[in-house]
């Protein structure tokens, strides 16, 4: 898998698939989720709540990834990756699990380009370098070889931190 790190707005990063942050209740309530709701209105929120209702649940377990449409955003679909638990706690392993699941779903769809923010680093407790340590082992999984993953961060400082963490984790592997 090729990885690119860009500074900007993940919703403006054209890709086949967006991996978005998600909470266990699939509420588009803040961060990237809130931006999705603001950008496209309630249709995606309604789709996610219909998913929960159709499964007879009020929340999904940490590590779950749920697909939705993308509305007017520049993606074929959105994979809502739950990389936190109900208490907004997380771990490098949980983020890696959610990313692995979402990237596997992207491969199944035939996606070649994937955009993602740094999961569990906003409302979640992880740092940008933690996210780098979560994603680094996935870069060498052969089933993701056809994918270009663009990770979008909010500042040059975050970009430098993420690049360094990925580089260091890759050298330790």
In whole numbers, what is the pLDDT of the chain averaged over residues? 96
Q: Is the pTM of this model over 0.75?
A: yes
Q: Which fold has domain 2-172?
A: 3.40.220
The answer on pLDDT for 123 being more than 90 is: no
Percentage of the chain surpassing pLDDT 70? 99
SS3 content of the chain, % helix, strand, coil (to 5): 45, 20, 40
What are the pLDDT digits (tens) for 47-103? 999 999 999 999 999 999 999 999 999 999 999 999 999 999 999 999 999 999 999
Q: Which strand (E) or helix (H) includes residue 31? A: helix 31-40
pLDDT at 173: 64
* Residue with token string 């649940």: 57
Q: Report which of residues 71 and 172 the model is more confident about.
A: 71
Q: Which of 45, 51, 9, 41 is nearest to 28 (CA)?
A: 45
Provide the β-strand partners of residue 65.
Answer: 81
Q: Give the span between the Cα atoms of 106 and 96, in whole angstroms.
A: 15
| Spans of all domains in the chain | 2-172
């Amino acid at each position: 898998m090729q990885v690119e790190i860009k500074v900007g707005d993940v919703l403006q990063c054209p890709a086949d698939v967006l991996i978005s942050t998600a909470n266990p209740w699939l509420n588009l309530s803040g961060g990237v989720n809130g931006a999705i709701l603001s950008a496209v209105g309630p249709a995606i929120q309604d789709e996610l709540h219909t998913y929960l209702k159709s499964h007879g649940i009020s929340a999904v377990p940490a590590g779950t990834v749920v697909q939705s449409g993308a509305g007017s955003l520049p993606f074929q679909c959105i994979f809502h990756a739950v990389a936190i638990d109900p208490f907004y706690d997380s771990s490098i392993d949980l983020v890696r699990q959610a990313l692995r699941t979402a990237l596997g779903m992207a491969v199944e769809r035939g996606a070649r380009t994937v955009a993602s923010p740094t999961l569990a680093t906003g409302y979640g407790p992880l740092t940008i370098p933690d996210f780098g340590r979560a994603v680094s082992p996935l870069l060498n999984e052969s089933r993701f070889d056809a994918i270009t993953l663009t990770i979008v961060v909010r500042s040059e400082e975050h970009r430098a931190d993420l690049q360094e963490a990925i580089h260091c984790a890759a050298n330790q592997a």
